[in-house]
Amino acid sequence: MPAPDLPAPFTTLAGEHRHSAVVENSEFLAFAARADTPPEALAYLETVRERYPDATHHCWAYQIGTEYRFNDDGEPSGTAGAPLLRAIGGQELDHVMAVVVRYHGGVKLGTGGLVRAYGGTAAQCLRTAPRLEVRPRQRLRVRVPFPHLSALYHLLDTFDTARGEEEYTASGVEMTLCLFPEDVEAFTAALADATRGEAGAESG
């Protein structure tokens, strides 16, 4: 059974993480979290802004697949948002929103100093954050006659499956399953063997 085109696996963050640093009297607070859509990323930005409404700057960047954006929030162009985006890429992360809050300490850091402060604080935050590998699953729709339900449930325990909707018909059960692509062929073969070819499975 050919696998449909699925998104590539990616590594993101397992939860929100933070890191702080003080550079020439300025305090930099870095925050990072998983974001699967641009609206999720911008909503996270708003939560950070609400936590630190009196900060001098709230600079940010997100990387979500092929989509990305960054913002310097009043800092000189290229000194804050872009270093944050590079920090995300440098850690080989995806589906991530990073925000660095700055409380100005009265000392000008210069262009190079700002790049190092923003990029370094974000990179350290991402480097120490707990990670999560996301592997897409393939959907299968299976139809199993009632006499073979025990065989189906045994296979569900044997393979790493996520169960979706389940519907009882006059002859048996129709169920949506999600499996890792590399398990689909073996599961389908095992289901056919266990039900003497009476069960059916198709993608989608």
CATH for 138-203 (3.40.640.10, 3.30.70.240, 3.90.1150.10, 3.90.1640.10): 3.30.70.240
Give the type of residue at 178.
C
- How big, in percent rounded to 5, are the helix, strand and coil portions of the chain? 35, 35, 30
What's the whole-number mean pLDDT along residues 55-63?
Answer: 98
Can you spell out the DSSP letters for 3-17? PPP-PPPEEEESS-E
Query: Cα–Cα distance between 190 and 194 in angstroms, integer?
Result: 6
Q: Which CATH architecture has domain 10-133?
A: 2-Layer Sandwich (3.30)
Domain(s) of CATH 3.30.70.240: residues in the chain: 138-203
Contact 126, 98 (CB under 8 A): yes
Domain(s) of CATH 3.30.230.30: residues in the chain: 10-133
The pTM for the full model equals 0.76
Query: Cα–Cα distance between 189 and 203 in angstroms, integer?
Result: 14
| Predicted confidence band of residue 126 (pLDDT cuts 50, 70, 90) | very high
Query: Cα–Cα distance between 72 and 115 in angstroms, integer?
Result: 11
Least confident window among 13-27, 83-97, 164-178: 164-178
Pairing of strands 96-103, 67-71: unpaired
**pLDDT for residue 2:** 45
The answer, yes or no, to whether residue 55 has pLDDT greater than 80, is yes
What's the whole-number mean pLDDT along residues 41-60?
Answer: 98
